[in-house]
Amino acid sequence: MILITDGGSTKCDWIAINSDGIQAVDKIRTKGLNPAIVPEKKLNKIIRKSKELMEIADQVTHIHFYGAGCGTEKPRLLLKSILEYYFKNAIVEVREDTYAAVRACINTNDEAAVVCILGTGSNCSYYDGKDLHQRVSSLGYILMDDASGNYFGKQLIRDYFFKKMPDTISVAFAHKHNLDADFIKYNLYKQSNPSAYLADHAEFMFINKDSEYISNIITKGIRLFTENMILQYKEELKEGVPVHFAGSIAYFGQEEIKQVAKEYGFKVGNFVRRPIEGLVNYHVKNL
């Protein structure tokens, strides 16, 4: 049995397929397993507490884990060792989530493309048809992650407290979320996954997109992401390579992304909300 995982900071989707490429059990979902921000003890607990994972653990022969926070060696090896402990019969491969986006988005294995992730966090890479290239190291949600869920969540919370929201939006936002200052600070400074907490507020944007205020926030974030991340690959973009997007923020922000793409002159490719489906197709083809 092969276990394929799309691991974000907020949640992980696990799909098990058998040697014939057929899904063996229902899709399994756990909390996020970002080893760069989630403590080792909690990583263990999340896996151990999943009854569905533990029931199939001995049957798993290969794990292909693509995850946020797995782009640097120390957290990647930490998560790999934890997975090897629980899945003792499995050969474990842990790659950064950018590879999941590439394999889910590109049309052919050797297609060159700029591939962006806009989910809880954000990232952008160039895939030359064989290898992945990144020109800026990610410094996480505090310093980077433009146009991500946590970026937009932070903008909304700031605007609420600085009274920059229109009154009707402010009332709706307060109705949907607990905006008590102490509660917010507790989640930001005392809990283990503040980026996921911030990102949880971003959904509000997409159920209020008819507001000019909300539309402007989304467009401003996409422009910032374009200038800081996508335009690192100006030379490649001049050659006409497509820019693909993965993640829920990108999927629900397609209209604004296409608008910004026209402004900056790059070609938009595919939008994939959940890379896990594309990953399954990739690994089935390569069984």
Alpha-carbon distance values, 13 to 7, 32, 177, 229 (Å): 6, 9, 25, 27
Tell me, yes or no, whether 253 lies in a domain.
no
The alpha carbon of 248 is separated from its chain's Cα centroid by a whole number of angstroms, namely 8
* Whole-number pLDDT of residue 165: 97
Tens digits of residue pLDDT in 109-132: 889 999 999 998 999 999 999 888
Q: How far lies 131's CA from each of 63, 114, 127, 238, in Å?
A: 21, 12, 6, 19
Contacts 24+ apart (CB under 8 A), 35-39: 35/67, 35/69, 35/70, 35/75, 35/76, 35/78, 35/79, 36/68, 36/69, 36/70, 36/72, 36/75, 36/140, 37/9, 37/69, 37/140, 37/192, 37/193, 37/195, 38/69, 38/192, 38/193, 39/192
pLDDT at 248: 93
Q: Is 22 contained in some domain?
A: yes
Whether 28 maps to a domain, the answer reads: yes
Render pLDDT for 181-194 as a digit per residue (tens, 0 to 9).
Answer: 999 999 999 997 89
Indicate whether 205 pLDDT > 90. Answer: yes
Query: What tens digit of pLDDT does each residue of 54-82 get?
Result: 999 999 999 999 998 898 899 999 999 99
| 269: its two tokens | 């490719």
28: CATH: 3.30.420.40
Written as six digits, the tokens of 246 are 């993965």
Average pLDDT, the chain: 93
- Identify the pLDDT of residue 59: 95
Write out the two tokens for 255: 């209209």
- Judged against a pLDDT cut of 90, whether residue 97 lies above it is answered with no
- The residue among 227, 199, 268 whose CA lies nearest residue 32 is 199
Q: Tokens for 150?
A: 């946590």
Contact 104, 277 (CB under 8 A): yes
Distance CA 110, CA 279 (A): 16
What's the pTM? 0.81
Q: Print the domain residue range for 60.
A: 2-101+276-285
- Tell me, what's the pLDDT at 254? 96
Provide, rounded to the nearest whole percent, the portion of the chain with pLDDT above 70. Answer: 100
- Chain CA centroid to CA 120, Å: 5
Tell whether 195 is covered by a domain.
no
Residue 152 clears pLDDT 80, i.e. is over it: yes
136 falls within a domain: no
pLDDT of residue 83: 98
Whether 142 has a pLDDT exceeding 80, the answer reads: yes
Q: Residue 20: inside a domain, yes or no?
A: yes
pLDDT computed for residue 13 by the predictor: 92
Domain membership of residue 19 (yes or no) is yes
Domain count, the chain: 1
The reported pLDDT for the residue numbered 137 is: 82
